[in-house]
Amino acid sequence: MKVSVSFLTSDNAPRDLKLLNETDCDYIHVDVMDGKFVKNKTMPFSEMKNIYKYTDKRLDVHLMCADPEKYIHKYASLNTEYITIHVEINEDINKLIKLIKSYSIKVGLSIKPNTNIRDIIPYLPYIDLILVMSVEPGEGGQTFITSSEEKVKEIRKLFEEYNLNDIVINIDGGVNDDTIKYCRDCDMVTAGSYILEGDNYQKNIDSLR
């Protein structure tokens, strides 16, 4: 199981990113919130970009943004492996997928807990990752929605139906050493508050592998 670590709930991002750099976590998950697609707003890119000097890990960028285009241009300039946009936005998703790919960055598409998985079908041939939200996007430290397990199984069925086998399924929100039992059909989990609690981040990561 790959593990991507969100530092959204961190009260000292430079310290936590340095500590996470010493672990074997696969990615740093970067939550970007615009105050429109979700209520909260993260710090501007001009500040955000400075904290990445504290890590050599590749970034997995989650754009919770109604109009992601300008964020794609900005986050593409960092050490970014994935940029994920939401399927629910009222923008031209195909155009945004092409824009992400033009930077040779892998494309993720995220779905909120109440979104029908059939909405992702038109984009399946063009994406590298599906980010299944197991909480409502917008803040860290929420409770895992257990029906997400079933959603992941349905996505796997879609993959079979459309003969796709190289899309990564990542799940985001409320993942801990208990709720990991609902994530066994995923390839990757994103966890924030659980990893950052206590002082042994590596041990917490190990418990999700």
Q: Is 31 a catalytic residue?
A: yes
Query: What is the number of the residue whose Cβ is closest to ligand DX5?
Result: 192
Using CA atoms, how far apart are residues 197 and 209, in angstroms rounded to an integer? 17
Out of Zn ion, ligand DX5, none, which partner does residue 140 contact, by CB within 5 to 8 A per kind? Answer: ligand DX5
Task: Give the phi and the psi of residue 47 in degrees, each rounded to 5.
Answer: -90, -40
Binding site for ligand DX5 (CB under 6 A): 6, 8-9, 29, 31, 62, 135, 137-142, 172-175, 190-194
Q: Is 24 a catalytic residue?
A: no
Scanning 11-19, 60-68, 145-153, 177-185 for contacts with Zn ion by CB under 5 A, the matching segment is 60-68
- The secondary structure of 124-143, three-state, reads HHHCCEEEEECCCCCCCCCC
Q: For residues 86 and 61, is the Cβ–Cβ distance under 8 A? A: no
Nearest approach, Cβ of residue 105 and Zn ion (Å): 17
Nearest approach, Cβ of residue 39 and ligand DX5 (Å): 11
Secondary structure (3-state) at 27: strand
| Contact set for Zn ion, span 118-177 (CB under 5 A) | 172
Residue type, 110: S
